[in-house]
Amino acid sequence: MVRQQSVQGIILSLLFLVSLTCCRSASAQEGVVYNPGSGTYTVEYVDDAGVARTAELVPPNHVDPTFLVEIEEVPGGGFVYSYTMHNMQGAGVDQAIEQIEMDCPAGSDVLEVTAPESWSARHLTSGHSNSIVCRFRARADRIPPGGVLDGFRVEARSLPGVVRLAVWGNLADGPESFPGIHDARPALAELAAEIQGVLGGWLEAQVVGPVVPPEDLANPIDGVVYLSANLGDVCTLEWIDNSTGVCNSLEVKLEQVEASIVNDRPAARNQLQSFLSELDAQRGQHVTENAYWLLQVLGEHVLSTI
């Protein structure tokens, strides 16, 4: 599920600034017109040299990303998170994906970040979110509408959880390419940057990524509580279709585990095995791959501690 960051509020406030800027000079005129059919903006302005200019701004929210995970445990400790990125095809999806950021643990908890051959991969502090991320950026082979690309990998010590994912579309022309817009029309330059995604306008979603070191969940009670919280997250995100009561059934099984774990560990193990069996049976039917891998890896970890 993707949550789109709205730029309309800031656009309205910046349009007010544009109107103030335009009145400082009798020769300066500028305006921004939204084109609902294409979802683009037309910008018309007169620079300080008196040259009338027109530019089209295409917001970078014309992508529809789905990032699917598979998780493999590494002998000796740690996990490899392998991702496939889909840019789903549909109305309004007309940009190729060129950059991906997902929240990642800090420091040595992330062992390696790799990308497909035509992409770069880094573990760094994001200027976008001011948080530690694993970033993938296209050098070539952007992911077009309807396209699929695999080979994104994060090796980390940490067990999985739900993390933030940010995705950018391909911006054909940044606002810096509009002559006279920065010095002559700073408010319009800021607006153009906001529309195109230089200052925002990205798409945010959720994905499964490394979150918590295994030693933090060494106590099985802590592990069950964390597993239950993540089951609640995936049900809220609709990664599990609860139309037939799958979420409710899985929740009941974890409640039974939590009730048994202190005084009857053999019963808790059997109840957790029942949880994992139902998860496996519903995989591909009512349980998506992201939900399956998250809950399966966490469930197996908790089982190993009981």
Instruction: Write the DSSP assignment of 160-227 as a string of letters.
Output: EEEEEEEEEE--SS-GGGSTTHHHH-HHHHHHHHHHHTSSS--EEEEEEEEEE-GGGG-SHHHHHHHH
Calpha distance 23→18 (Å, rounded)? 9
- The answer to whether residues 85 and 143 touch, using CB atoms and an 8 Å cutoff, is yes
The tokens for 73 are 């445990």
Task: Tell me what the mean pLDDT of segment 78-91 comes to.
Answer: 94
**Helix (H) / strand (E) containing 71:** strand 65-73
**pLDDT given for residue 62 in this prediction:** 75
- The answer to whether residues 267 and 189 touch, using CB atoms and an 8 Å cutoff, is no
Q: Is the pLDDT of residue 70 over 60?
A: yes
Question: Of all residues in the chain, what percent carry a pLDDT higher than 70?
Answer: 80
Backbone φ, ψ for residue 10 (5° rounding):
-70, -30
Q: Which residues of 143-164 are buried (b: 16+ CB within 10 A; e: fewer)?
A: bbbeeebebbbbbbbbbbbbbb
**pLDDT given for residue 213 in this prediction:** 96
Amino acid making up residue 105: P
CATH 1.20.1440 range(s) for the chain read 215-305
Alpha-carbon distances of 150 from 82, 134, 294, 296, rounded to whole Å: 8, 15, 19, 22
**pLDDT given for residue 197 in this prediction:** 57
Query: Which residue has better confidence, 170 or 227?
Result: 227
pLDDT band at residue 48 under the 50/70/90 scheme: confident
Task: Tell me what the mean pLDDT of segment 252-264 comes to.
Answer: 96
Q: Does the structural domain 65-170+203-211 have CATH classification 2.60.40.2230?
A: yes
Q: Is the pLDDT of residue 52 over 90?
A: no
Query: Which residue has better confidence, 186 or 297?
Result: 297
**pLDDT given for residue 169 in this prediction:** 82
Place of tokens 């620079």: 47
Question: Of all residues in the chain, what percent carry a pLDDT higher than 90?
Answer: 59
Q: What is the chain's mean pLDDT, rounded?
A: 84
**pLDDT given for residue 278 in this prediction:** 98
Q: Which residues pair with 84 in a beta bridge?
A: 68, 150
- The answer to whether residues 71 and 78 touch, using CB atoms and an 8 Å cutoff, is no
**pLDDT given for residue 19 in this prediction:** 33
**pLDDT given for residue 186 in this prediction:** 73
Calpha distance 118→101 (Å, rounded)? 16
For residue 136, the number of C-alpha atoms closer than 13 Å in the C-beta half-sphere is 33
pLDDT in tens, 36-45: 877 778 888 7
**pLDDT given for residue 257 in this prediction:** 97
215-305 folds as de novo design (two linked rop proteins) (1.20.1440)
Q: Is the pLDDT of residue 4 over 60?
A: no
Query: Which residue has better confidence, 51 or 199?
Result: 51
Contacts of 90-95 with CB under 8 Å at 24 or more apart are 90/64, 90/145, 92/39, 92/62, 93/62, 93/63, 93/64, 93/145, 94/62, 94/145, 95/58, 95/60, 95/62, 95/63, 95/145, 95/169, 95/170
pLDDT band at residue 60 under the 50/70/90 scheme: low
Q: Is the pLDDT of residue 201 over 50?
A: no
**pLDDT given for residue 20 in this prediction:** 30
CATH 2.60.40.2230 range(s) for the chain read 65-170+203-211
Calpha distance 193→82 (Å, rounded)? 33
pLDDT band at residue 224 under the 50/70/90 scheme: very high
Calpha distance 187→27 (Å, rounded)? 16
Place of tokens 């990205």: 202
Q: Is the pLDDT of residue 29 over 50?
A: no
The tokens for 216 are 């933090």
**pLDDT given for residue 159 in this prediction:** 98
